[in-house]
Amino acid sequence: MDSPVERLSSSSKEAIGRFSETSARIQVKVRKSNLDSHHHHHTVATPTRRSLSSFSRDSFASAFPSPPSSTTSSPVKRTSLLRTMKRTMASPPLSSSHSSSTKPQCKYISGSSSTGSPRPVAVPHTITERHGGMELWVKAPMLAGEMEKQGFRWRKKWKTRYVELNSRMLSYYEIADDHHGHVAKKARKRAQITADGFLEDIDERSFSVTPSADEKPWVFRASDAKTKMKWCKALTDCIDILNWLQHYELGDVLGVGGNGVVNQIVDTRNGKQFAVKSVDVSKFKNREAVVSEVEIMRNITNNIKHPNLVKIYKVYEEQDKIYIIMELCTGGELYDSIVKRGCYSEADAADIMKQLLSALQALHKYNILHLDIKPENILLSSKEKDAKIVLTDFGLARMVNGKKNPLQGGTSMAGTVGYIAPEVISSHNYTAAADVFSAGVILFILLVGYPPFQGDSEVEILLKIARGDFQFKNEDWAHISTPAKELVSRMLEVRADERITVDEVLNHPWFNEVRSDCELAKTMERLQRFNFDRKSENMGSFMSSMLSDVTEADYRTLVDIKTIRTMISQLSPEGKDRIPLGKAHLIAKGLGLSPYVDEKSFVGFLDQNHDGFIDAQDFCEGVKAVRDHDTSFAKIIYVAMHKVIEEDTCAPSPLDHKLTRKDFETVFEKLNCPEPLVKVFFKYIDEQGQRPDDGSSDDADPVELVQQTGEDWEVDENQFVDVFAQFPFIGSLFLRTAKDNMTMIVKSKSIDLFPRISEDSSA
């Protein structure tokens, strides 16, 4: 009997033969495609990537990443600034002199044309000096829109996708098939572009981009040639920037301020060193202020060109981070240098002031006011004995139309307490005279070693400045010349219109005639103490910023062990990375502790490992304990509340005395607690106290109050710990900065930032 195949017609047999041949050809093409993929080093593993949200919150070192070291699909582990400090980065030369000798390292490779020869992507490169661009401000490209994307599988199907380039992160999203065309919230695929990424030109509308050596090519087809070129420019700019960035190596932390961290960076090609200031504009909401600062520094660098004014070289912006690359001053802060030099005279003070006033004179000629003259902003160019001073930090600087036209500051008061001019305090008017007053404070300190305006609080200091309340103590000014004393008086004149001008200061006889070379030994001793106190308070202020950052993400960006260790080593008399408890009380002062809080107890609380010293780890753990409403901190606040009550009643309040409703009312009133928080607090506590305690519930409320009659209740120390955990704003009342932050939150009606309160108040 014939087999089934033999019974087939001849035409059927021919069809089967053609099908077999076609299948064989397809298999050969698939194998060839796989071989080509391996030939071009395109791995099939998913590259390491991270979400856009986490990328935008990275520390400064994230702007200078190493190439991916892993091709696993798990997300990149977020690292602190400490772990990424010594990373080699991707950066361009800061001097135009390198543009002619440095060849492009990124690849702009084209696909094959009809003749099979490469065709380069015709996009001009103007971002970095390496390609001839001399722009001061370099901004990472951001672009989004719909394009067709070719699939990665062998069928190479084209589908419309929503594509997004966010700095160096390339993503695409699915688009719904319905008529609304909704874009998916989660990206179908993401890849981080690296310096070895490259583009390939395919045809008039199509191109491919290979984000990194570990990625396959992503093939796109734009709606028209213009859209294609827009995408090609953004992608080539991105790769160009990454090649520019990779030549910089991040160094040590040089300083920490209220609006950024300053690091040292090195151009690995020529060894040139710079300083880079990183600012998180999403956190400080001050992009316009940064733009203004950069414009003023550009004016200084290109037009004023004064040797005592810091120079700017480049600005790089990526998402919410702005990095200002500027002149490096290796000599450190002025007062640190004076303390270390060993000998110091009135003549030295005159040399310093002449340079400072000369810099201010140059600024004022261009109608620029600095408005933040203080020790931290006066640096030395090098560690040499004859190093020049350099005036830095133009974050508060402003432009005016003329010296006689004061700039209205609205309700804000620009400057630093202790150095702000009286007219700025009283009427928020800014003129060149304000800089002269601040320079007068610097001169006062240089001559006697302490500031003219002192007080137990910032309010007291501001009031003294407004009144011109300072003294020339005979025992401290005995060895200071009369012309110097007369100049200080004229620079600290309360009335701005009667204050000496910059030009008059530089022509004052003290600079030219009286130059005493007598060593000011007592001044050196006092200056050393003042310098230590100042740095301690600055560290306390830094601690305040760690406490006032509401979100956990913002808090993590500030917790950097290396930065904090640097600050502590500057405080330590021996330059070590820890401070003895006896010297640490000023950290508490800088934090703005209420006078009701026992400083000794709080400093002991910061010593988390109880070794008699505070190091960086203690500092971070102490801040975290405060943020987490630690029991030990709650007990410190409990004692402080008793001190408030003692002051109000003029009678002792022993710790075994339980706090009543009336006691809480007294504390809230004395410490000016915002009314909305008071209402929420008592509403919750009264409700908890009125619940019957019949033992019927297994889930007892953590706040167990001793019930009396009506709304009367009492709280002992252990019960207060539970109350404190529910209402952490009580602790903020005893911390000046945290209290100010809390008040702003309440005024903005953002009480949802206190979840425990919001949830309970809605019950």
CATH number where 449 lies: 1.10.510.10
Mean residue pLDDT across the chain: 74
Same domain assignment for residues 237 and 223: yes
Does 566 reside within a domain? yes
Q: Are 192 and 68 in contact (CB under 8 A)?
A: yes
Rg (CA), the chain: 33
Cβ neighbours around 757 below 10 Å, total:
21
Q: How confident is the model at residue 395 (pLDDT cuts 50, 70, 90)?
A: confident
Same domain assignment for residues 648 and 746: yes
pLDDT at 319 over 90: no
The pLDDT value given to residue 471: 93
Query: What's the predicted TM-score (pTM) here?
Result: 0.66
Same domain assignment for residues 575 and 692: no
pLDDT in tens, 114-146: 334 445 555 555 556 555 556 788 889 999 999
Instruction: Using the structure block, give the residue that is written with the tokens 């880079």.
Output: 276
Does 54 reside within a domain? no
Higher pLDDT, 136 or 165: 165
Does 87 reside within a domain? no
Q: Are 593 and 734 in contact (CB under 8 A)?
A: yes
Same domain assignment for residues 498 and 364: yes
| Domain boundary, last residue among 628, 654, 676 | 628
Same domain assignment for residues 209 and 339: no
CATH of the domain at 282: 3.30.200.20
Give residues with Cβ within 8 angstroms of 539, minimum separation 6.
567, 568, 571, 587, 590
Same domain assignment for residues 751 and 701: yes
Same domain assignment for residues 428 and 499: yes
pLDDT in tens, 493-532: 999 999 999 999 999 999 987 666 778 888 888 887 787 7
Same domain assignment for residues 261 and 239: no
Per the structure block, which two tokens stand in for 119?
Answer: 């065709």
Strands 312-318 and 137-139: parallel
Please give the residue range of the domain that contains residue 748: 633-761
The pLDDT value given to residue 708: 46
- Among all residues, which ones are annotated catalytic? 372
Instruction: Give the range with max mean pLDDT: 436-445, 449-458, 526-535, 688-697.
Output: 436-445
What average pLDDT score do residues 164-179 get? 88
Same domain assignment for residues 498 and 558: no
Annotated binding site for ATP: 277
pLDDT in tens, 527-585: 877 877 777 666 666 666 666 544 555 555 555 666 677 777 766 655 567 777 777 76
pLDDT in tens, 576-624: 677 777 777 666 666 667 888 888 888 888 888 788 888 878 877 887 7
> How many separate domains does the chain show?
6
Higher pLDDT, 30 or 276: 276
Does 580 reside within a domain? yes
Does 258 reside within a domain? yes
The closest alpha carbon to 391, from 420, 347, 433, 355, belongs to 355
Distances (CA, A) of 713 to 26, 659, 676, 692: 85, 8, 21, 14
| Domain boundary, last residue among 303, 326, 349 | 326
Does 653 reside within a domain? yes
The pLDDT value given to residue 164: 95
Cβ neighbours around 22 below 10 Å, total:
10
Instruction: Using the structure block, give the residue that is written with the tokens 């003290």.
Output: 510
